A and B are shown apart, each in its own frame.
Chain A
Amino acid sequence: MAGVSTKEIKTRIRSMESTKQITKAMEMVAASKLRHAQARVINSRPYFETLYTTITDIVNSNSDFSSPYLTQRTGNKKLFVVIAGDRGLAGGYNSNILKLVYAQIEGAEATVLPIGRKAVDFFRSKGIPALTESYSDAADVSIGDCFSIAKLISKAYLKDEFDEIHIGYTNFVSVLSQTPATLQMLPLLHRPTEKPAQTEILYEPDSTEVFAAIVPEYLGGILYGALCESRAAEQAARRTAMESATQNAEDMIADLSLKFNQARQAAITQEITEIVAGS
């Protein structure tokens, strides 16, 4: 105990306190951003879900496979659209989604379309080619950008540049739980339901054209939904991470204060002993 000077402990307490202030501030910023992001997820979720179920219903009851969006291809050229964050300090948010996508990429001839600086940096360091890096700021991607990305990838798909297009994003389950997931965007998966479609669907003007017009819209909608989910998940992850960091800092401060008081008391006791012994 006597070995540690009170001054040294005091410096550590002070540095811990400033760290705590930073993490506390980050926690509060994340909490306020989370509220906005959460409201947006809740608003956009019905759209995301309706769009997804409508398209799946149409695809499943469809019997005409002339549209290129429906044909399964044999090649192995995959495109992964990956949504991650721009900044770290968000617990496992970035590493979870990047790890999940990277595990799926291995062995395939893959290209990525990273959204968010962390994703751009990660795939660059792994030497995986990127289709475009113009969406490196996940915070700046707007709904209009989602539709431009959708147009870009559906065009590339039609030109046979890719055989499969997947998206990797993080599902915002709750404030405390976020799960990374991947979803196949193209070709549209055909899962025939148990009850065969008895009713024919009328396509206006015809099925190939309907799919040609709907699919880019669908991809844009899915992208926007995934982006909203990911953003909310990022803020939630950051808030939780910063909350526990603040808690840890508080614990350490309490621990150090105890040590400081002990050292101070020891010094006083020693001084008294010396004075008594000297008189």
Chain B
Amino acid sequence: MTPFRLTIISPDGPEFEGNVEELIVRTTSGDLGILAGHANCVAPLGMGRATVVMDGKKRYGACIGGLLSMVDGKATLVATTFEWAEDIDPERAESSYQRAQQVLGSKDASDAEIALAQARLRRALVRKSVAGSK
């Protein structure tokens, strides 16, 4: 398949730059697949697994928030957090998941705490599922 240029960048620095054959990301309105020659497009990212196909091999990453832009054949993934599946610490995700569950299970948590715990729970779930799919 024809490759295209992909740049993945997060506040921690550049995560990836190179030619890929396919990119699938979770946008706020569902999964979006990008192949070479895709029309110019912009989409806000949700929380989920990003799949990059490079030399016929699939590579997964946990991608949370940010935006995807495809302009003039070049894709840029500006993510709020991005981690490759192999970099995810499954134990940390698991403990974060447990802590969030505890807060959500307790009766006297404030609204702000619940909102925080929900966000943490969602992040932990994404990380756990991505870490399992490497």
The interface of chain A, by Cβ under 8 A from chain B, is 43-44, 46-47, 50-51, 54, 57-58, 143, 147, 199-205, 209-210, 213-214, 217-218, 220-221, 224-225
Contacts and interface: CB of A to CB of B under 8 A. Distances in A.
Interface stretch (B27-35, B98-106, B126-134): B27-35
Contacts of A199: 40, 72
14 contacts: A47-B12, A54-B67, A54-B69, A202-B41, A202-B42, A204-B27, A205-B28, A210-B42, A213-B28, A214-B67, A218-B67, A220-B80, A221-B78, A221-B80
A202 B13 contact: no
B67 A46 contact: no
A145 to B, nearest CB: 12
B12 A214 contact: no
Interface string B60-89: 000001110101100010101000000000
A217 B39 contact: no
Most B CB contacts (10 A, CB to CB) among A204, A221, A224 go to A204
Nearest to A42: B13
A58 B65 CA distance: 18
Interface of B: 7, 9-14, 27-29, 32, 39-44, 65-67, 69, 71-72, 76, 78, 80
B39 A47 contact: no
B100 to A, nearest CB: 15
B13 to A, nearest CB: 4
A50 B67 CA distance: 11
B76 A50 contact: yes
Contacts of A220: 80
Contacts of B41: 201-204
Contacts of B27: 204
Contacts of A200: 40
A159 B78 CA distance: 28
A217 B65 contact: yes
B67 A201 contact: no
B78 to A, nearest CB: 5
Contacts of A50: 7, 9, 76, 78
A147 B10 CA distance: 14
A117 B17 CA distance: 40
A214 B11 CA distance: 16
A58 B28 contact: no
Contacts of A54: 67, 69, 76, 78
A201 B80 contact: no
Contacts of A217: 44, 65-67, 80
B37 to A, nearest CB: 13
A213 B11 contact: no
A58 B42 contact: yes
Contacts of B69: 54, 57-58
A58 B41 CA distance: 9
Given A57-B71, A213-B28, A224 B11 contact: yes
B65 A202 contact: no
Contacts of B29: 204-205
Given A43-B12, A217-B44, 14 more contacts: A46-B9, A46-B14, A47-B9, A47-B11, A47-B78, A54-B67, A54-B69, A57-B69, A199-B40, A199-B72, A205-B28, A213-B28, A217-B66, A225-B11
A8 to B, nearest CB: 56
Contact of A203 (B7, B10, B43, B78): B43
Contact of B78 (A51, A202, A205, A224): A51
A80 B12 CA distance: 26
B42 A204 contact: yes
Contacts of B65: 217
Contact of A210 (B13, B32, B44, B72): B44
